[in-house]
Amino acid sequence: MDDPGRLLDLLPDDDPLCWVRGGEGLVGWGEAARFSATGPDRFARADAWWRSFAERLDVRDEVDEPGSGPVAFASFTFAAESPGSALVVPRVVVGRRGDRTWVTEFTGDDRTPVRAVSPVRRTGTIRYADGRLPVSGYRRAVADAVRRMRAGELEKAALAHDLLAVADAPLDPRFLLGGLADRYPTCWAYSVDRLVGATPEMLVSRTGGRTVRSRVLAGTLWPDADGHPADAAALARRLLDSPKDRHEHQLAVDSLAAALRPLCGRLDVPDTPDVITLRNVSHLSSDVSGTLDAHAPASLLRLAEAVHPTAAVGGTPREAAVALIAELEGMDRGRYAGPVGWVDGDGDGELGIALRCAQLDGPVARLFAGCGVVADSDPDTEVREAAAKLAAVRDALEGVRGG
C-alpha cells in the first residue's frame, strides 16, 4: 500500500494493538480470534493453538516481510498462575519495514473490518494514589531481600511496586502510546489488551526460522540520582565502573544464555556490556544472538517459555527469586515484566519484556516499576531508581513536554 503516514495515527481508541519502534512495526485493530491460557504450560498451549489456527488459513502474501501474513499480538503474565495471558489475532494489520508498508486483512465472511478513528483524547487532570504495594512497603521489601541475600538465600531478585493514576474520564490508550513512542523512539512501543508501554528490552526475537536475538538490560543510573552527573558519557562511565551494576548485569546475561544455549547450535554472548541512554535512565546492555538448532528450531513462543523470566526481571536462582518476589511484593503483577509483542504464522516474531508500562482500566492506570536487588543494594537508592523509571509513563500520561 502507499505510505499511510504515522502508524500510530491509524489506530482507533477501541483496544488498539501495537508494536512499533522508530516508526516501523505493526499496528492492528478488530479481533478475528483470541486464545487465553493460565499456568506453567501457557506458552506451550498458546504455541499449539497458534500453529493450528495459522495452518488452517488460506494465506495470500505478496509482501513476504517479517510480520506480513497472519499475525497474533501476544501478552503473557509474569507469574504462571496469574490470569490474563493472551494471543489476539487482529482483523486488520498495517505493517511497515524500511520503505515498504502493507495491510493484511481477514476476508471471506460477512464481518467487515471497521476502523472509526476519533481524535486522540488528552488525559486531563490526574491524581495519584498508592497501588497494592506502596513506596513504604517497597522499601521494606527491598531491605528484607537484601538481608536474605546477605544470608546466602539467593543472589538477585527484581522487585517492583505499583502506582495508580486516576483521571476524570476514561483514558485514551493512544495518548499514552503516542507520548511514549515520541519520547522513547529507540524503545518498542506496545499496546495489547490495554497494557500500554515502551520497553527498551527485547526478551527474544526469531527471524528466518533460525536466527535468535535478545537485548539484556540490567544495571541502571539516572541523571538526577544523588551525586550522579547528568552528562550521558559520565553516566556511562559510572555504570561501566560500578561493581554492583556489572554484577547485576552479568547475572541477567548468564541466565538468558543458560536458557538459550540448549536450543541453539551457536550462541554469541558479548564479554562486556554497552550502555544505552534514554531520556530518564541509562542501562547496561548486552545484545545476544545465535542460530537455533537446525533439526528442531524452537518457535518464538517456545523460546519465550525457555527464557522467561530472565534474571533481569526475576532473579537468580530463578525459582527462589520468583518465590521471593511473590512473598515480598504480595501483589499480582499481571502482565508487567511478562513477554509482550507479536508472532507470525511461521513462528517468527518479537517479544519484549513489558516494562515502562501501565494497565488501563477506564479512568485508572496502574503503573509499574522495578529494580534488580542484589546483596549490596541500598533500599533508598532502589526507591529512587523505581521513581525514575515511573517518570516515563507519568510524563507521557500527563503530556509533559521537554527534551
Q: What is the pLDDT of residues 364-393, one digit of tens each?
A: 999 999 999 999 999 999 999 999 999 999
- Structural domain contains residue 115: no
* Residues 190, 6: Cα–Cα separation, whole Å: 15
- Structural domain contains residue 265: yes
Number of domains in the chain: 1
- Structural domain contains residue 230: yes
Residues forming beta bridges with residue 198, ordered by sequence position: 189
- Structural domain contains residue 118: no
Q: Which positions ≥6 away from 369 have C-beta within 8 Å?
A: 160, 161, 163, 356, 386, 387, 389, 390
Residue bearing the bigger pLDDT, 228 or 25:
25
* Residues 9, 30: Cα–Cα separation, whole Å: 16
> What is the Cα 352 distance to its own chain's centre?
4
Whether pTM > 0.75 for this model: the answer is yes
Q: What is the pLDDT of residue 232?
A: 80
Position 156 pLDDT exceeds 70: yes
Other beta carbons less than 10 A from residue 150's beta carbon: 11
* Residues 167, 363: Cα–Cα separation, whole Å: 5
Q: State the pLDDT confidence band at 13, using cuts at 50, 70 and 90.
A: confident
Q: Give pLDDT tens digits for 216-263.
A: 999 999 876 555 556 788 888 999 999 999 999 999 999 999 999 999
Q: Give pLDDT tens digits for 260-319.
A: 999 999 999 999 999 999 988 999 999 999 999 988 899 999 999 999 999 999 999 999
- Structural domain contains residue 371: yes
Over range 180-195, report the average pLDDT.
Answer: 97
Position 403 pLDDT exceeds 60: no
Provide the CATH number for the domain around residue 230: 3.60.120.10
- Structural domain contains residue 120: no
Return the C-alpha cell found at 335.
502482565
Share of the chain above pLDDT 70, in %: 96
Q: Which domain covers residue 333, as residue numbers? A: 7-110+125-398
- Structural domain contains residue 77: yes
Q: What is the pLDDT of residue 400?
A: 82
**What is the average pLDDT score of the chain?**
94
Position 109 pLDDT exceeds 70: no
Q: What is the pLDDT of residue 9?
A: 95
Q: Which residues are catalytic?
A: 156, 201
Q: What is the pLDDT of residue 176?
A: 97
Q: What is the pLDDT of residue 294?
A: 87
- Structural domain contains residue 41: yes
